[in-house]
Amino acid sequence: MKLIASLTSPYVRKIRIALLEKGLTFELVNEPPWEPGNKVCDYNPLGKVPALQADDGEIFFNSPVIADYLETLPAAVRLIPVEALEAVRVKQLEALADGVTDAGVVWLLETRRAADKQDATVIDRQRGKIERGLDALEHKLQGRDWLYGTHLSLADIAAGCCVLWLDFRLPQYDWRSSRPNLTAYAKRLAERAAFVQTVPVV
């Protein structure tokens, strides 16, 4: 199995952590999509990472789809529950965390535009999504160790990759002050071996 990756993408990190937590072996192909001449489009017509090429050659892209595919492979650890409604709930939380990350990416890209081209309303709008999304995660974590159920799930991996990416790319943004549950949870996740092994490399 080959994972087409960049070493800074939060969506790639999510899949790398899922693979590591499940104990699945894979080859990491570092193919940053912003580099001239990159081959990402050979795997994903949208030109985005992550993309995963299975051992039989079939290709999957978009991290939630890849995460779903991983659950079809033999592994001792499940990250999405078997029961359909429970699976939807975990994926809803994954979508919430990914949505916060998406808003963070829009914010970051806006700040990279020339100062006179930046639009404060774009940043405010994305910041609103991030604030509300993180508040929802904070609320979900009240009195619980995990976002869903009694052990790590895909929702936790997505949430961990989300907030740790905010630290990495938007360090000026203090998401912790009003969110003690999320702060302690992120610290715990960051200490897991799979998170330690996938710290972004610039």
Is residue 47 a contact residue for ligand GSH (CB under 6 A)? yes
- Nearest distance in Å: CB 167, ligand GSH: 15
Is residue 33 a contact residue for ligand GSH (CB under 6 A)? yes
Is residue 80 within 8 Å of 90, Cβ to Cβ? yes
DSSP for 38-85? --GGGT-TT--S-EEE-TTS-EEESHHHHHHHHTTS--S--SS-SSHH
Q: Select 46 or 184, whichever has its Cβ closest to ligand GSH.
A: 46
Residue 27 neighbours by CB under 8 Å, 6+ apart:
1, 2, 3
- Nearest distance in Å: CB 177, ligand GSH: 26
For residues 155 and 92, give the distance between their C-alpha atoms in angstroms, rounded to a whole number: 8
Residue 129 neighbours by CB under 8 Å, 6+ apart:
99, 100, 103
- Nearest distance in Å: CB 33, ligand GSH: 4
The piece of 4-12, 89-97, 140-148, 191-199 that touches ligand GSH (CB under 6 A) is 4-12
The piece of 42-50, 80-88, 121-129, 174-182 that touches ligand GSH (CB under 6 A) is 42-50
Is residue 11 a contact residue for ligand GSH (CB under 6 A)? yes
Give the pair of three-digit tokens for residue 133: 């999304």
Question: Residue length, the chain?
Answer: 202
Is residue 198 a contact residue for ligand GSH (CB under 6 A)? no
For residues 85 and 91, give the distance between their C-alpha atoms in angstroms, rounded to a whole number: 10
Interaction residues for ligand GSH, span 95-134 (CB under 6 A): 98
Interaction residues for ligand GSH, span 55-74 (CB under 6 A): 62-63
- Nearest distance in Å: CB 163, ligand GSH: 15
Is residue 48 a contact residue for ligand GSH (CB under 6 A)? yes
Is residue 47 within 8 Å of 41, Cβ to Cβ? yes
The piece of 41-49, 68-76, 79-87, 132-140 that touches ligand GSH (CB under 6 A) is 41-49
Q: Count the site residues for ligand GSH by CB under 6 A.
A: 11
Provide the CA 141 distance to its chain's centre, in angstroms. Answer: 18
Residues of the shown chain interacting with ligand GSH in the complex, contacts defined by CB under 6 A? 6, 9, 11, 33, 47-50, 62-63, 98
